[in-house]
Amino acid sequence: MMSNTNNSSQANNYGGVAGDACEDSDSDSVLDAGDNCPATPNTDQANNYGDSRGDVCEDSDNDPEIISAKLPL
């Protein structure tokens, strides 16, 4: 999704269609620059613990280990 976001540097480090300032890696309509969980869709940006990570990026005990980084046992 393209937007009218200021991208004065025109940085495009990943070579995508949009510049870095306009990227939405998880396609949740929240640009990566303001997304509290840019690799996992979370349009509501819920953050019940008040930290910098969205709830969908945290495990149930809110420790620094992120769900997507866990390996199956």
Instruction: Give domain status of residue 67, yes or no.
Output: yes
Within-domain flag for 2: no
Question: Which value, in Å, is the radius of gyration of the alpha carbons in the chain?
Answer: 14
One digit per residue, pLDDT tens: the chain, 73 residues? 455 666 666 776 766 666 666 788 899 999 888 999 999 999 999 998 888 889 998 876 656 555 554 444 4
Residues spanned by the domain of 21 = 10-73
Strand partners, 58: 66
Q: What is the pTM assigned to this prediction?
A: 0.60
Domain count, the chain: 1
Q: Is residue 37 part of a domain?
A: yes
Q: How far apart are CA 71 and CA 50, in angstroms?
A: 26
- Asked, for residue 43, whether it belongs to a domain, the answer is yes
Residue 12 has, within 13 A of its CA and on its CB side, a CA count of 6
> Considering the domain boundaries, does residue 5 fall inside one?
no
